[in-house]
């Protein structure tokens, strides 16, 4: 029998490795930005074209590379970060495995220009599918400029799996924000199709958060700070009154690396227990510094999952620290029955000095037992008194009324204590959650929330696709502050969002002005409905115009449907039942859950052994 096992060619092995490291353009952005940070750059510029599919270029002012290092950096497992296996447990840098550039070079066209600080000339290299096509000396500034063009050009199947430009752009912005949030002392800028999206100057952590998420974020932040032998914890959480319906603004960083950890996320949420309603989520930006040998960051190719040695201890510290910060700044209630919270000094006035003492003016000669003439000498204000008040009633004649000539019309009103016929309701509400109605074969149980979702979904879908959605004009337009990526999303989908009934007067860099809202919502619901709508669009990743409209209709229906726990009168119950069974697909909610269940008479009879 002949041998069947053989070694893969290098270009095939590189393409397989690229599948783990490079999943989409955002993966390339992450790797290149981290390389620039490891190179000591203080100014990093990211240029994109067509959501990174045509071009991803990162320009930095780092220390650059020599000619030999520039050539060797595209070889597999070539790294300057580790020398032995023990170094994997004492990492101080972003990248370390030496796979990123080799994997990217296997599936794209690469152009590299780099120069060391003390050298006059730098190195220019071009690579196509792991093959070096050009290497020459070039005049270039100190640092590195690396361009990735035509991503997945030699793997058409992988390129076909990429999403639309707006979806891929949102993923890139997410990676950009994660890197920028953890390095506030580095200047970052982002350009997409020659349009400036972000320009972040070097600053402190609070200023960087505000620069990314908007100016209104500053007043919402509560500092968090704790230093223990196990972990050093710094960062910010938002006040409970500014919680959101989405989880998007939740960031954990460990040793300057963004991570995802549901266990530690639960620790923060539990600190807000009894301060926020279910279904709401606080925003937080928490930075953990732990000894490198207590974590393992090499358990996932994207390095966003981290394994801790003492996870339970970290949970307790994070929960206690966040809870303490909320109480320290009078955000959470304090158990003190004798304290008047209205007299507390705000924490931003804690160290403020009094510039001038208040003055009080009093009349020291005031004597309540003096006559009015005596009082007026020292205090000239005197209340006027009306003299001869009896004269007001002189010459007033009371008219005589002849009661006998007055005619009074009376009307006999007959009332009954009980109606002659007692109305029999067709529906009944159970536990303010289910509507029970009788049918020919038995009874039906209808979930009022899911049923109303189906009704609203079909109504919105009809309004958006067939009819013009009704909109109510606001007397005073609403100013709503949003993050820059949310603003970009609204700009891209403005016509579709306005087809639901929203009208926008202005869309600025960090603010939108809403002049009209759908008829079915109140002014107080606008912010929550818009936030939920944007979050659903991001999570569902719409590809076509119809899928965007479908997501919008689902999101609006979910936000505005009658909630379980609301009491409905008989008319509302019957109207809901009639509207449900008038729908095209009454059996299921827009999200595939059953809207009702039925029970036949024979099933009920069996319960009674009949």
Across the chain, how many H-helices and E-strands are there?
Answer: 17, 22
Place 45 in a pLDDT band, splitting at 50, 70 and 90: very high
Taking the C-alpha atoms of residue 392 and residue 119, their distance in angstroms, rounded to an integer, is: 107
C-alpha angle with apex 227: 223 to 229, nearest 5 degrees?
Answer: 155
Does residue 164 sit in helix, strand or coil? coil
Res. 442 pLDDT band, cuts 50 70 90: confident
Q: What is the CATH number of domain 205-328?
A: 3.30.230.10
Q: In this predicted structure, what is the pLDDT of residue 18? A: 60
Mean pLDDT of 169-176: 90
Q: What is the pLDDT of residue 416?
A: 47
Sorted by sequence, the CB contacts under 8 Å of residue 334 that are 6+ apart come out as 327
Q: Which band of pLDDT confidence, cut at 50, 70 and 90, is reported for residue 544?
A: low
- Tally of CB atoms within 10 A around 184: 20
E strands, 36-108, are 43-49, 55-60
The predicted model gives 521-544 an average pLDDT of 74
Q: Which pair of structure tokens corresponds to residue 58?
A: 């990162």
Give the pLDDT band (50/70/90) at residue 418: very low
Q: Name every residue whose Cβ is closer than 8 Å to that of residue 419 and which is 6 or more positions away in sequence.
A: none
Percent of the chain topping pLDDT 90: 25
Coil, strand or helix: which one is 535? helix
SS3 358: coil
pLDDT at residue 460 greater than cutoff 90: no
> What are the CA-CA distances from residue 107 to residues 50, 54, 149, 390, 536 (Å)?
17, 13, 10, 107, 32
- The answer to whether residue 309 scores a pLDDT higher than 90 is no
Provide the CATH topology of domain 430-596.
Ribosomal Protein S8; Chain: A, domain 1 (3.30.1370)
Sequential DSSP letters for 95-156 = --SS-HHHHHHHSSEEEEEEE-TT-SSEEEEEEETTEEEEEEEE---SEEEEEEESTTTT-H
Supply 53's token pair: 């599919």
Domains 10-200 and 430-596 share a fold: no
> What confidence score (pLDDT) does residue 423 get?
44
| Interatomic CA distance for residues 30 and 303, integer angstroms | 11
pLDDT of residue 19: 57
Backbone Cα Rg of the chain: 35
Domain boundaries defined on the chain: 10-200, 205-328, 430-596
pLDDT of 417 reads 43
Maximum pairwise Cα distance, the chain: 137
Q: pLDDT tens-digit profile of 376-416? A: 554 454 555 555 555 555 555 555 655 555 565 555 555 44
Question: pLDDT tens for residues 546-564?
Answer: 667 788 888 888 888 888 8
Contact between 252 and 282 under an 8 Å Cβ cutoff? The reply is no
pLDDT at 486 over 70: yes
> pLDDT of 108-118, one tens digit each?
999 999 999 88
Round to whole Å and give the CA distance between 551 and 542. Answer: 8
- pLDDT at residue 136 tops 70: yes
181-230, pLDDT tens digit by residue? 999 999 999 999 988 889 999 999 999 999 998 888 888 899 999 999 88
Return d(Cα 290, Cα 582) in angstroms, integer.
60
CATH 2.40.50.140 fits 10-200, yes or no: no
Q: What is the pLDDT of residue 100?
A: 79
Could you give the strand order of the β-sheet that contains 471-481, starting from the edge strand earlier in sequence? 471-481, 511-518, 503-507
Task: Give the pair of three-digit tokens for residue 416.
Answer: 């009954």
Cα–Cα distance between 451 and 434 in angstroms, integer? 10
Q: What is d(CA 78, CA 99) in angstroms, rounded to the nearest whole number?
A: 7
pTM of the predicted protein model? 0.68
């Amino acid at each position: 029998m002949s041998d069947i096992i053989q070694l893969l060619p290098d270009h095939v092995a590189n393409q397989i490795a690229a599948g783990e490291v490079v999943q989409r353009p955002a993966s390339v952005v992450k790797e290149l930005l981290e390389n620039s940070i490891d190179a000591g750059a203080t100014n990093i510029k990211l240029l994109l074209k067509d959501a990174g599919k045509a071009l991803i270029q990162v320009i930095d002012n780092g220390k650059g590379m020599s000619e030999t290092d520039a050539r060797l950096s595209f070889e597999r497992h070539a790294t300057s970060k580790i020398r032995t296996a023990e170094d994997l447990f004492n990492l101080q840098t972003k990248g370390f495995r030496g796979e990123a550039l080799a994997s990217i070079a296997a599936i794209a066209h690469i152009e590299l220009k780099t120069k060391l600080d003390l050298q006059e000339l730098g190195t220019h290299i071009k690579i196509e599918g792991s093959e070096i096509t050009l290497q020459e000396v070039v005049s270039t500034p100190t640092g590195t400029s690396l361009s990735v063009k035509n991503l997945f050009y030699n793997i058409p199947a992988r390129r076909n799996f990429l999403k639309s430009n707006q979806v891929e752009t949102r993923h890139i912005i997410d990676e950009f924000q994660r890197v920028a949030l953890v390095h506030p002392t580095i200047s970052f800028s982002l350009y997409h199709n020659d349009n400036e999206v972000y320009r972040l100057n070097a600053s402190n952590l609070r200023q960087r958060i505000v620069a990314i998420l908007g100016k209104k974020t500053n007043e919402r932040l509560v500092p968090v700070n704790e230093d223990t032998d196990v972990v050093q914890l710094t960062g910010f959480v938002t006040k409970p009154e500014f919680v959101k319906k989405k989880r998007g603004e939740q960031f954990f960083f460990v040793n300057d690396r963004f991570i995802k950890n549901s266990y530690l996320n639960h620790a923060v949420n539990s600190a807000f227990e009894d301060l926020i309603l279910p279904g709401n989520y606080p925003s937080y930006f928490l930075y953990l510094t732990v000894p490198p040998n207590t974590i393992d960051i090499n358990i996932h190719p994207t390095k966003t999952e981290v394994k801790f040695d003492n996870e339970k201890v970290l949970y307790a510290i994070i929960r206690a620290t966040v809870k303490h910060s909320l109480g320290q700044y009078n955000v959470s209630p304090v158990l003190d029955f004798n304290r008047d919270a209205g007299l507390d000094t705000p924490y931003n006035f804690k160290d403020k000095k009094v510039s001038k003492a208040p003055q009080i003016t009093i009349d020291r000669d005031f004597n309540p037992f003096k006559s009015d003439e005596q009082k007026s000498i020292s205090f000239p204000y005197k209340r006027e008194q009306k003299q001869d008040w009896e004269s007001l009633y002189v010459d007033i004649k009371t008219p005589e009324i002849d009661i006998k000539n007055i005619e009074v019309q009376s009307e006999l009103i007959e009332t009954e204590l009980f109606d002659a016929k007692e109305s029999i309701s067709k529906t009944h509400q159970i536990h303010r959650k289910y509507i029970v109605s009788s049918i020919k074969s038995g009874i039906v149980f209808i979930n009022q929330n899911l049923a109303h979702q189906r009704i609203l979904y079909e109504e919105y879908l009809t309004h958006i696709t067939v009819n013009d959605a009704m909109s109510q004009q606001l007397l005073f337009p609403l100013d709503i502050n949003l993050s820059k990526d949310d603003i970009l999303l609204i700009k891209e989908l403005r016509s579709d969002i306005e087809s639901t009934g929203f009208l926008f007067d202005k869309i600025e860099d960090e603010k939108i002005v809403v002049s009209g809202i759908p008829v079915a919502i109140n002014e107080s619901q606008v912010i929550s409905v818009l936030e939920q709508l944007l979050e659903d669009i991001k999570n569902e990743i719409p590809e076509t115009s119809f899928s965007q409209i479908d997501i919008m209709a689902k999101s609006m229906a979910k936000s505005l449907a009658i909630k379980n726990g609301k009491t409905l009168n008989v008319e509302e119950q019957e109207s809901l039942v009639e509207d449900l069974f008038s729908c095209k697909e009454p059996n299921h909610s827009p999200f595939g859950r059953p809207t009702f269940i039925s029970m036949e008479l024979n099933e009920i009879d069996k319960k009674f052994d009949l």
